[in-house]
Amino acid sequence: MPTAGVAAPGSATPFEWELPPGFPPPEVPADNSMSAAKVALGRVLFYDTRLSGNGSYACASCHRRELAFTDGRAQALGSTGERHPRSAMSLANVAYNASLTWSDPGLQRLEEQALIPMFGEHPVELGLAGRENELLERLRADASLRASFAAAFPGDAGPITVANVTRAIASFERTLISGDSPYDRLIYRGEMEALSEPAWRGMRLFFSDRLACSSCHGGFLFSGPIRFAGGRAPPVVFHNTGLYNLDPSGAYPAPSRGLYDHSGRAADMGRFRAPTLRNIALTAPYMHDGSVVDLRGVIAHYAAGGRTIDGGPYRGVGRDNPHKSERLRGFTLAPGEEDDLLEFLHTLTDTRFVTDPRFAAPL
């Protein structure tokens, strides 16, 4: 059922949450309340290439709707062609995340996260560092955008600011809610026929103690701790899954060494946030650096309790990484069980979400 949102001060039309069954209202920061006008503006800005230094890239360049707001690359490319060391994360249900990005525990607001691709230089993504005034001049030159900013931020005498750009984009991103997969139709609507028999078997495997997939990919997001309106502040959790083991200290390849890059603590080497498994069949390749090509490779990695790389600069036995999570014990699959597990993972695909015209580029 739609749930009334909170209108920004002076805004005529409040935002209406259209939440799937079983989904609580997302937490919305007090200084960026939701309104229909703000969400509409955020959608325009999300697809606007004027938000890149050279006018070639938008947020949507790395977050494509048809790929559950990922980009299909192992590692994202910025507007200047610079390769990002990490894979673009899905924005599906991002409003509920306890933390944002792969490994930054302090980044918990979408408004702040939006500044990183816009103004970051290591790597360059949208390439706006030092060009804030140029960005604002571009936006202020557009009469339609001037009207949209005025409607979204009616209390501001000069509403076209960097802060309001990020507020609008964050408001739009909070609406990217995915909860209409076959799994959802089974669990939240009681449609017993939503899953095939192989998918039923795969679901039992997924939630079994033997595979323990849900110990890291739990809850309605299939990711971990969640943030929602009225809930307690969730813990921020990261895991080392034995993807690399470059030396006796358990090193991961720089510059993507997980939580270690923020804390400097040896025990945090290789610890990353568990991404959502919703729409996982659409978001290949996998892992923080896109180094696992397909879902069969992901299953093989976890079945082995860590990845073995036999040669080259990343040679090492990941299952022996001294910082690997104790949750990764490895497991053995009987004939047919891998196919069943894959069948279940495909039931997490929400085709309505990736074709929803509300999330498409505005005409």
Per-residue pLDDT reduced to its tens digit, 33-60: 999 999 999 999 999 999 999 999 999 9
Supply the pLDDT for residue 260.
98
Per-residue pLDDT reduced to its tens digit, 87-122: 999 999 999 999 999 999 999 999 999 999 999 999
CATH 1.10.760.10: which residues of the chain?
2-177, 182-346
- The CATH class for the domain spanning 2-177 reads mainly alpha
* Mean pLDDT value across residues 198-226: 96
Supply the pLDDT for residue 6.
46
Tell me the average pLDDT of the chain: 95
182-346 domain in CATH 3.30.360.10? no
* Mean pLDDT value across residues 248-270: 97
Contacts of 29 (CB under 8 A, 6+ apart): 109, 111
Check pLDDT > 70 for residue 1. Answer: no
3-state secondary structure of 86: coil
Binned at pLDDT 50, 70 and 90, residue 13 comes out as: confident
* Mean pLDDT value across residues 72-93: 97
Burial class (CB within 10 angstroms; exposed 0-12, middle 13-18, buried 19+) of 48: buried
* Mean pLDDT value across residues 119-136: 97
- The CA distances from residue 363 to 37, 165, 177, in Å, are 16, 20, 21
Supply the pLDDT for residue 292.
98
59-67, long-range: CB < 8 A, 24+ apart: 59/114, 59/117, 59/126, 59/169, 60/361, 62/88, 62/117, 62/125, 63/88, 63/90, 63/91, 65/354, 65/355, 65/356, 65/359, 65/360, 66/282, 66/354, 66/355, 67/282, 67/283, 67/354
Per-residue pLDDT reduced to its tens digit, 316-346: 999 999 999 999 999 999 999 999 999 999 9
Supply the pLDDT for residue 10.
45
Check pLDDT > 70 for residue 2. Answer: no
